[in-house]
Amino acid sequence: MRVVIAEDQVLLREGLVRLFEDRGHTVVAALGDAAGVLAAVGEHTPDLVVLDIRMPPTFTDEGARTAREVKDAHPEVGVLVLSQHVEARYAVGLVTLGGFGYLLKDRVLDVGEFLAAAGRVAGGGSALDPHVVGALLAAQGTADPVAGLSARERDVLALMAEGLNNTAIARRLVVSERTVEGHVRHLLIKLGLAEVDDGHRRVLAVLAHLRHTALPAPHPPVP
């Protein structure tokens, strides 16, 4: 994988660079802020851009805005946004795009999972942090249709939204794959969605549904 990294904290940036390079990936650019990201992407045509959501100069949503710009200019490039905590309002507009991921920073410590997620995003798939999915689902509240789901079906839905396929979900929940398939079928029926096999499109369908039924457009922040 050819990777562009934008992270303002030097130690973290170097750690990420080594993380990718130790596993044989190529970091073509490691930047300290969001300003040069678009240019670097144009220059290096990477497979993946890893962005910290808060960066200079305002430390609010530079990463999120840059992610949007990169996706607009280069839809084929995967964008993985890292955040210290869930900021649902930034995720909302991006989750329905292909090749997008939103993970909490400490996920990088679980190197295998992190690189798998990065690979999914680079390949046009999704990688949403369980916290992000949780926030999206919680924000959706008890309003229909998620209210009708059982606890287990919700767990499965969350894992689907993370971008996992049935096999991975079965492994995570320590159940058989057939059980997962049953849950998926039920919850998709309950949500009124056509059953699809492709993992990414499945996530998109779920998230798009959630977004349209539950999530309002974020308000501009009030000073």
Partner 1 sequence: MAGLDIRSRPLAVALLALTCAAAVASVPLSAGREPGIDTALYPLNAVALGAAGLLILLRLPRHPVGLLLVGAAPVGALVELLEGYGYHDTWPGALPAQWLSSWGSLVGVGCSTIVLELFPDGRAAARWWRWLPPFTVAATATMALGAALSHANDSSYTFTKGGNPYAFDGLDFLYAIGELTVTASVVLAVVSLIDRYRRAGSAERQQLKLIFWFACLLGVVGPFAGMSYNDSFVVQVAIALVVPLLPVTICVAILRYRLYDVDVLIARTISYAALTVLLAAAWGGTALVLGAVLAGGSAWVTAGATIAAAAVVLPLRRRVQDGVDRAFRRARHDVLARVDAYLEDLRAGVASADELEGLLRDVLRDPDLELRLLLPGESPPAAAAGAPAGGAKADGTTIDGTETEGTETDGTETDGAARSDGTDRGGRVRTMVERSGVPLAEVTHAVPPGEPLADVLSRAGLAIEIARLQAEVRHRLAEVEASRARIVAAAHEERRRLERDLHDGAQQRLVSAGLALRHVQYQLGDQPAAHGIEVVVAELAGAIKDLRELANGVRPPRLDDGLELALRELAGRAPLPVRVHAAPGPLPDTVVAAAYYVAAEALTNIVKHAAASTVELRAAQEDGELVLSVRDDGVGGAEPAAGSGLRGLADRVGALGGGLRLESPVGAGTTLTVRLPCVS
List residues near partner 1 by CB under 8 A: 9, 11-12, 15-16, 18-19, 22, 54, 59, 84-89, 104-106, 108-111, 135, 137-143, 147, 214-216, 218-223
Q: Which is nearer to partner 1, 84 or 176 (CB)?
A: 84
CB of 72: closest distance to partner 1 in angstroms? 23
Q: Which is nearer to partner 1, 6 or 180 (CB)?
A: 6
Listed in sequence order, the DSSP H helices in the chain are 10-22, 37-44, 62-73, 88-92, 111-122, 130-140, 151-162, 166-173, 177-191, 199-213
Q: Which is nearer to partner 1, 212 or 219 (CB)?
A: 219
CB of 187: closest distance to partner 1 in angstroms? 17
CA nearest 156: which of 180, 127, 177, 135?
180
CB of 74: closest distance to partner 1 in angstroms? 27
CB of 26 closer than 8 Å to CB of 47: no
**C-alpha–C-alpha distance, residues 34 and 151, integer Å:** 40
CB of 178: closest distance to partner 1 in angstroms? 30
**C-alpha–C-alpha distance, residues 220 and 104, integer Å:** 23
CB of 127: closest distance to partner 1 in angstroms? 17
CB of 52 closer than 8 Å to CB of 8: yes
CB of 173: closest distance to partner 1 in angstroms? 20
The terminus-to-terminus CA distance of the chain in angstroms comes to: 41
Q: Which is nearer to partner 1, 131 or 200 (CB)?
A: 131
Q: Which is nearer to partner 1, 14 or 198 (CB)?
A: 14
**C-alpha–C-alpha distance, residues 188 and 200, integer Å:** 15
H or E segment at 198?
none
Q: Which is nearer to partner 1, 7 or 180 (CB)?
A: 7
